[in-house]
């Protein structure tokens, strides 16, 4: 079962939680800060540890995510650790011009107006490359 790190902005929580449930239903384990950090734990330490244990990082992109310092940190840390980064657009317009340099040359999955099952299938295909 692939273990992925989920990077997202809290403003996108509804989209992300639906997608994470769909991923888990297909045996893809996703680390999600809202459910996987214990009360009182150091957020930065928990994020670093989860990134190190992950086989890939799924970055759910939106206008909010592109301006979120944690999402930027997680993208940079994933790149530094040599993790596969799978960018998935969940909302927003004109994101291509705002992508961080790390993501500009990557293929992006556009989840806007797609059923969750179709998005999960695309993510699963990308994760097959990690094995």
CATH code at position 118: 3.40.50.10140
pLDDT attached to residue 46: 76
Distance CA 1, CA 25 (A): 11
Domain that holds residue 12: 3-128
pTM here is 0.88
Distance CA 68, CA 82 (A): 21
Q: Which two tokens stand for residue 39?
A: 């009360």
In this prediction, the residues of the chain whose per-residue pLDDT falls under 50 are none
- Give the count of domains, the chain: 1
φ/ψ of 119, rounded to 5, equals: -65, -45
pLDDT attached to residue 42: 66
pLDDT attached to residue 39: 60
Q: Which DSSP helix (H) or strand (E) runs through 76?
A: helix 69-80
**Could you tell me if 4 and 54 are in contact, meaning their C-beta atoms sit under 8 angstroms apart?**
yes
pLDDT attached to residue 127: 86
Beta-sheet strand order (sheet of 56-61): 29-31, 3-7, 56-61, 84-89, 109-110
DSSP helix/strand/coil, 86:
strand
């Amino acid at each position: 079962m692939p273990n992925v790190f989920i990077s997202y902005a809290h403003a996108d929580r509804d989209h992300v939680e639906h997608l994470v449930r769909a991923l888990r239903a297909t045996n893809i384990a996703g680390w999600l800060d809202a459910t996987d950090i214990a009360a009182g734990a150091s957020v930065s330490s928990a994020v670093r540890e989860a990134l190190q244990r992950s086989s890939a990082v799924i970055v759910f992109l939106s206008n909010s995510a592109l301006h979120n310092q944690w999402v930027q940190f997680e993208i940079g840390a994933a790149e530094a650790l040599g993790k596969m980064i799978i960018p998935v657009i969940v909302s927003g317009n004109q994101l291509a011009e705002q992508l961080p340099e790390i993501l500009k040359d990557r293929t992006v999955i556009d989840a806007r107006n797609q059923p969750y099952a179709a998005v999960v299938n695309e993510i699963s295909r990308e994760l097959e490359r990690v094995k």
